[in-house]
């Protein structure tokens, strides 16, 4: 990697990170300045007090110096305490803003892109490296502040180094003094060169390690467990092997890094110690000769060791920043992904008659990394106000069809058209507003019931209660202690109410009705309900939906008889389309086979159920 590219990565990452709260870095710099001033102030006054004692000055002068030292330290301590509180507050704001930006970026990406395994691995890898290793922006922040701290040390040390050199020149620079100064410079230069050489290898080591760890990080963090499954199927051992493998590789990389660090640090610190040794000799030599006052030994040794140490720390910080570059590149790569969740600019026409005609024209879709299309050459016109049932075996493409309809995915072939324009041309959010959808893998939030039904901060109580009653949640609702203000689940509130799977599905259905969109889609939302409850829900929905377009997906074909048309999917293709009676008339068709198979099942089970 070229030097300019490294600087570019660090510069971009720093601008983005500190841009989340521009007040943090100035506040932190002020705190660091107060922190750095303290030792120099104490070195200076300590040297002055020792010199005064050594020279036998009046007690009044000595006590004045002691008072200045005490008062100065009090002021510096108070200033640091005040700045520390301010810095902590600004840091918390920065962290919250960064987390918000990360979440917003995730939401700005298309659903299709977020399901891409590589992007998922990238996102999870960033979180893993930040939480587990402290790499990425956290490490960058630490090293930049290390640079600022030691940069201030160098500036202050240089000021006093100039004072020391003036004394040396006035006292006459000797050959031993020149040799000792040369020794200090050479040892500092050696430490810097050794540090740069070590850092180059360490940076390459981390860059190579990142390539092998990224996917494992995503795997170990993305593995979800179910308490019941892991016990019934004894998955603990399997999951432990997955996590142990990831942890072993992670530990191997970390141990390798620390071994390299220890091996590379020995000559670096030896060179640093040599510079301190020459500094002591230089000051002591001139103190004995009377060039420096009695307290000068304390002052100038402190300044020189701070100077040489800070120079080394500056380069160490730069080198540590280089090892963070692979993580910063991943961080920037995630934010550089195009925000394609909201393409299109065409306004959706405001129609009081809600006549939005949607057509699939030879639509195909293939998931990222898949070997074949999940949906193949599907063409269908969705009639305004009709009730369409979508049926088929598992994996036949039903849910993919719905996600293409709602633009969670974009077709890889063909196009979805609404009112004679490609769906891609419409503003994304306006297009989404046309749909109320209940997916089979829906989620409710650990928030009050009213927020869940309205999907907003405020809710219309009368409207929410009406739809909860319509979907069969009325009896349970009347038992809730706080009505719509009752929190669901106990994630954030001990008084939260736990709801069953069937109850949660009814709330999700009420949410879909509350939105009052022109097109309602139910993607097997009643899977947790028994057949009678499901039929009641569908009949209720048929009445509530009224003249709106409705699409129902269900495995239970008996629930779809009230629909105007039935679309049958098989192996990613739309193989049949017609009414219930028309499709049953096609005896060799997929629908007839599915219908008779289910009818036979219920017929065989009925006596046993009745018994």
The pLDDT tens digits of the residues spanning 150-176 come to 888 888 887 777 777 777 777 777 787
Per DSSP, what are the bridge partners of residue 259?
none
* H-assigned helices in 174-235: 175-222, 227-232
Per DSSP, what are the bridge partners of residue 566?
389, 578
Using pLDDT thresholds of 50, 70 and 90, give the confidence band for residue 104: confident
Using pLDDT thresholds of 50, 70 and 90, give the confidence band for residue 609: very low
Using pLDDT thresholds of 50, 70 and 90, give the confidence band for residue 283: confident
Percentage of residues of the chain with pLDDT beyond 90 = 19
Worst-scoring range by mean pLDDT, 122-136, 429-443, 450-464, 477-491? 122-136
3-class secondary structure, 578: strand
**pLDDT tens string 388-437:** 999 988 888 898 999 899 888 889 999 999 888 888 888 888 888 889 88
- To 10 degrees, what angle do helices 325-336 and 175-222 make? 50
> For residue 610, is pLDDT > 50?
no
pLDDT for position 215: 46
Determine phi and psi for 244, rounding to 5 degrees.
-65, -40
> For residue 251, is pLDDT > 70?
no
Determine phi and psi for 608, rounding to 5 degrees.
-65, -40
Assess contact for 595 and 555: CB atoms under 8 A: no
Q: How many Cβ atoms are within 10 Å of 371's Cβ, its own excluded?
A: 6
Mean pLDDT of the chain: 79
Q: Domain-by-domain residue ranges, the chain?
A: 3-336, 358-443+517-610, 445-498
Determine phi and psi for 536, rounding to 5 degrees.
-65, -40
CA atoms of 606 and 520, how far apart (whole Å): 33
Nearest of 487, 409, 403 to residue 444 by alpha carbon: 487
CA atoms of 186 and 208, how far apart (whole Å): 33
CATH 3.40.50.300 fits 358-443+517-610, yes or no: yes
Using pLDDT thresholds of 50, 70 and 90, give the confidence band for residue 462: very high
Determine phi and psi for 485, rounding to 5 degrees.
-85, 0
> For residue 511, is pLDDT > 50?
yes
Listed in order, strand segments (DSSP E) in 75-123 are none
**Displacement of CA 203 from its chain's centroid (Å):** 24
Assess contact for 531 and 507: CB atoms under 8 A: no
The strand order across the sheet containing 358-365 reads 375-382, 358-365, 413-418, 421-422
Determine phi and psi for 374, rounding to 5 degrees.
-85, -25
Worst-scoring range by mean pLDDT, 67-76, 260-269, 308-317? 260-269
Q: How many Cβ atoms are within 10 Å of 390's Cβ, its own excluded?
A: 28
User: Which position has the higher pLDDT, 74 or 55?
Assistant: 74
Per DSSP, what are the bridge partners of residue 552?
389, 522
3-336 falls under which CATH superfamily? ABC transporter type 1, transmembrane domain (1.20.1560.10)
3-class secondary structure per residue, 294-341: CCHHHHHHHHHHHHHHHHHHHHHHHHHHHHCHHHHHHHHHHHHCCCCC
pLDDT for position 605: 46
Using pLDDT thresholds of 50, 70 and 90, give the confidence band for residue 341: low
**Displacement of CA 209 from its chain's centroid (Å):** 21
CA atoms of 147 and 318, how far apart (whole Å): 8
């Amino acid at each position: 990697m070229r030097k300019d590219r490294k600087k570019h990565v660090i510069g971009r990452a720093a601008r983005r990170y500190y841009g989340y709260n521009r007040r943090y870095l100035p506040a932190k710099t002020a705190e660091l300045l107060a922190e750095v001033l303290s030792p120099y102030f104490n070195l200076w006054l300590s040297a002055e007090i020792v010199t005064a004692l050594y020279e036998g000055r009046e007690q009044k002068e000595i006590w004045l110096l002691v008072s200045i030292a005490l008062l100065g330290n009090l002021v510096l301590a108070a200033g640091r305490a005040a700045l520390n509180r301010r810095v902590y507050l600004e840091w918390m704001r920065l962290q919250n803003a960064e987390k918000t930006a990360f979440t917003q970026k995730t939401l700005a990406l298309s659903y299709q892109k977020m399901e891409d395994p590589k992007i998922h691995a990238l996102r999870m890898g960033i979180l893993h490296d930040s939480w587990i290793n402290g790499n990425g922006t956290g490490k960058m922040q630490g090293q930049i502040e290390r640079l600022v701290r030691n940069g201030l040390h160098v500036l202050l040390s240089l000021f006093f180094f100039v004072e020391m050199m003036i004394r040396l020149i006035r006292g006459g620079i000797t050959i031993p003094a020149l040799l000792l100064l040369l020794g200090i410079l050479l040892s500092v230069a050696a430490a810097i060169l050794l540090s740069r050489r070590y850092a180059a290898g360490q940076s390459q080591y981390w860059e190579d390690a990142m390539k092998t760890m990224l996917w494992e990080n995503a795997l170990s963090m993305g593995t979800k467990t179910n308490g019941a499954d892991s016990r019934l199927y004894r998955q603990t051992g399997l999951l432990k092997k997955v996590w142990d493998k990831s942890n072993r590789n992670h530990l191997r990389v970390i141990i390798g890094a620390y071994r390299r660090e220890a091996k590379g640090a020995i000559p670096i610190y030896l060179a640093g110690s040599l510079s301190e040794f020459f500094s002591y000799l230089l000051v002591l030599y001139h103190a004995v000769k009377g060039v420096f006052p009695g307290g000068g030994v304390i002052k100038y040794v402190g300044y020189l060791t701070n100077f040489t140490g800070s120079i080394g720390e500056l380069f160490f910080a730069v080198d540590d920043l280089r090892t963070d570059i692979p993580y910063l590149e991943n961080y920037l790569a995630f934010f550089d992904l195009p925000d394609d969740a909201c393409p299109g600019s065409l306004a959706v026409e405001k129609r009081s008659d809600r006549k939005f005609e949607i057509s699939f024209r030879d639509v195909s879709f293939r998931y990222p990394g898949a070997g074949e299309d999940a949906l193949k050459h599907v063409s269908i016109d969705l009639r305004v106000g009709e009730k369409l049932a979508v049926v088929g075996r598992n994996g036949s493409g039903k849910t993919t069809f719905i996600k293409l309809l709602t633009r969670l995915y974009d077709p890889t072939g063909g196009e979805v058209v609404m009112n004679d324009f490609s769906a891609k041309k419409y503003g994304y959010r306006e297009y989404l507003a046309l749909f109320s959808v209940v997916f089979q893998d829906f989620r409710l939030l650990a928030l009050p019931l009213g927020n869940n039904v309205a999907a907003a901060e405020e809710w219309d109580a009368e409207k929410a209660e009406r739809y909860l009653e319509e979907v069969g949640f009325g009896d349970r609702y009347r038992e809730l202690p706080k009505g719509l203000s009752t929190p669901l689940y106990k994630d954030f509130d001990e008084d939260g109410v736990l709801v069953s799977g069937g109850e949660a599905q009814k709330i999700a259905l009420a949410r879909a009705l509350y939105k009052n969109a022109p097109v309602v889609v139910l993607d097997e939302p009643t899977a947790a309900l028994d057949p009678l409850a499901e039929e009641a829900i569908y009949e209720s929905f048929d009445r509530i939906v009224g003249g709106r377009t409705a699409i129902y997906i269900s495995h239970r074909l008996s629930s779809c008889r009230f629909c105007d048309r039935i679309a049958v999917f098989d192996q990613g293709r739309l193989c049949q389309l017609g009414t219930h009676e028309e499709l049953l008339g096609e005896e060799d068709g997929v629908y007839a086979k599915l219908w008779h198979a289910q009818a036979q099942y219920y017929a065989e089970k009925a006596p046993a159920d009745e018994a």
